[in-house]
Structure 1
Amino acid sequence: MKGILICGHGSRDPEGVEGFKALVALLRKRYPDRMVDYGFLEFSHPVYAAAVERMYVAGIREIIAIPAILFAGGHAKNDIPFEMNTLQSQYPDLRIRLGRHIGITPSILQLAGKLVTAAEAAHPPMDRQDACLLLVGRGTSDPDANSDVAKMTRMLGEGLGFGFSTTAFIGVTQPLLKDHLPIIDHLPYKRIVALPVFLFTGVLLKKIYAQLEEFAATTSKQIIATKSFECDELLLQTIDERIREVQEGSPDMNCQLCKYRTQIIGFEEEVGKEQVGHHLAVKGILFEEEEKPGEKKTVLTTVKKILGI
């Protein structure tokens, strides 16, 4: 029997974790002939190591690992590959094949458009030429991932027929949402449709909603915000595509603009940077469940959870 490991980011928000688990539950129904399991990079349990051990104990000797990450920042390019390589070295008779992150696909663009239409439907009709589409990304230290959010903004803005489209981020990089909203306020558009590009709810998404609500109290413009992507069939179709790529031997990432492999202006010193994980301090710190088969709670197991081992 073969397995599929869905590699989540993890969240400090229980609602975000439950949303991710709901996605895994749907994938289990979708792949009844596979053992579908999941793990998290940080905060939540189980960590990847525990999920892989659980699959190994169940007799799995080949795992397709799919990063449930929207854009290829440090998590998809560095942290998850490091974790999978480390685990592969610990199980000589286990084969782990890592697939691509979710990325921008026709299905994801269609899903984003669906969310925009649903949000607009709750308000009086307005010509989209009189509205501004605002995509809000998480923000990373990787310009390649940030540029994908900007690319998605452009494709949706033109494809959906908005009068203007722009991009902001909730952290790490510029422009920050709280700084960008006052600038948009000066533009001649009656409505701002904010689309947070997040798979599930969580701390950052709620922060985005809070900032939008605060801004709405200071402007004459109408502010509309979409939901997160959640467990939509269109997201599941993209995950299907990523699994097929691994099966067919073609899970190619975009390495042409990767700051770790190509000299990108302003990031030249990061070419060839050692691939190591950066999440030991927060790996599995939020306890949810016993991870290992038959494990009993002891002081030692609690310490192991704190250390993420």
Structure 2
Amino acid sequence: MFDAVVYIGHGSRCEEGEAQFKRFIESVKEEVASPNQEIAFLELTAPTIAETMEKLIADGAKRFLIVPVLLFSAIQHQLDIPEELRAVQRKYPFISFEISEPFGAHPYMVDLVVKRIGAEKNEKDTAIMLVGGGSSHLRPIQELQQIGKSVEQKLDIPVYTAFLQLGKPSLEETLEFLPYRYKKVYVMPYLLFTGLQLEKIEQIVFSSKDTFVICPNLEFDELMKKTLIKRMEEACDGEDVSGDDEPRQKKGGNYRGRGDSSA
């Protein structure tokens, strides 16, 4: 089992966004059976990953479960976080770590989108648009599209995806044709918390036609907590992390942290 859990957020200039993140993590901590659980941020907000790791190492932690609280796996998950962890490991070579997967296209995230949209199944002359931040990596684009297809199957309503930046089609491009095809379009910002991206989506949509209904963003729902805990259990080879069940033997014997993990 791990000595400590580190939850890593992106960081935000928006105080309310940062507060939402911290409240969410506190609710997750209550479900996780580990006495050492701390928060760190990639940028914009303290403490940094190195600061949090060094605090826990000083308290005796050697084996870390690293939990990126990110929507999708892109450069932050694949490169930035592992690089910072390896820098700490070079200073403290006796530590090991395992990195869990981000939320991704887990079925609970599909359920959350359906919940946030609040549409009736098979509404006539209606469409749904999921708006992501965008990425230079293909995987986040594909996973949001995958979520859209699953929502479409659940509600039997056409679902379109659009992106604020670094993804096609753009939000502006999608807004141009949807009002001429549908009487109502549910717009759901696929974002973790309030902030500049959410404000930009609202400004762009409000300046368009009154066809659009803006839905709440993800807002760290209970379904996200369940998803995060599932991702943590996956990183532990399926071992329960809540302490409700007896620990199961891991594949290949005792757990060995992989210091070179990039998940």
Give the shorter-chain TM-score range: 0.7 to 0.9
Q: State yes or no: 1:193 paired with 2:186.
A: yes
Amino acid at match of 2:220: C
- Identical-residue share of aligned pairs (%): 26
Amino acid at match of 2:95: L
- Distance in 2, Cα, partners of 1:4 & 1:97: 10
Single out whichever of 51-60 and 27-36 deviates more from structure 2: 27-36
Cα offset, 1:32, TM superposition: 4.8
- The aligned counterpart of 1:42 is 43
- Distance in 1, Cα, partners of 2:155 & 2:92: 48
Cα offset, 1:2, TM superposition: 1.6
- The aligned counterpart of 1:113 is 114
Cα shift readout 1:190-228 (whole Å, capped 9, x = no counterpart): 11101111121121112111211121xxx252x212222
Q: State yes or no: 1:93 paired with 2:87.
A: no
- The aligned counterpart of 1:174 is 168
- Distance in 1, Cα, partners of 2:230 & 2:210: 43
Q: In structure 2, list runs of 5 or more residues that go unmatched.
A: 240-261
Cα shift readout 1:92-129 (whole Å, capped 9, x = no counterpart): 22222111111111111111111111xx5xxxx79523
Q: Is the 8 A contact 1:129 1:161 kept in 2?
A: no
Amino acid at match of 2:48: V
Q: State yes or no: 1:152 paired with 2:150.
A: no
Q: State yes or no: 1:238 paired with 2:230.
A: no
Q: State yes or no: 1:71 paired with 2:72.
A: yes
- Counterparts of 1:6-25 in structure 2, within 5 Å, are 6-25=7-26
Amino acid at match of 1:77: Q
Cα offset, 1:181, TM superposition: 0.4
Cα shift readout 1:239-260 (whole Å, capped 9, x = no counterpart): 111111122279xxxxxxxxxx
Cα offset, 1:231, TM superposition: 2.8
Amino acid at match of 1:207: K
Cα shift readout 1:114-167 (whole Å, capped 9, x = no counterpart): 1111xx5xxxx79523211101011010122211111111111222111x2211
Amino acid at match of 2:104: G
- Distance in 1, Cα, partners of 2:89 & 2:98: 9
- Distance in 1, Cα, partners of 2:145 & 2:190: 11
Give the length in aligned residue pairs. 240
TM (norm. structure 1) is 0.72
- Distance in 2, Cα, partners of 1:83 & 1:249: 26
Change (3 A) 1:28 1:126: closer
- The aligned counterpart of 1:214 is 207
Amino acid at match of 2:57: Y
Cα offset, 1:64, TM superposition: 0.3
Amino acid at match of 1:232: D
Q: Is the 8 A contact 1:113 1:156 kept in 2?
A: yes
Amino acid at match of 1:227: P
- The aligned counterpart of 2:105 is 104
Cα offset, 1:174, TM superposition: 2.2
TM (norm. structure 2) is 0.84
Q: Once superposed, what is the RMSD of the aligned Cα atoms? A: 2.2
Partner residue of 2:133 out of 130, 138, 157: 138
SS class of match (1:78): helix
- Distance in 2, Cα, partners of 1:53 & 1:227: 37
SS class of match (2:13): coil
Cα shift readout 1:1-57 (whole Å, capped 9, x = no counterpart): 721111111112111111111111112222253311111112111111111112112
Amino acid at match of 2:167: T
SS class of match (1:183): helix
Q: In structure 1, list runs of 5 or more residues that go unmatched.
A: 251-275, 277-309
Q: Is the 8 A contact 1:19 1:200 kept in 2?
A: yes
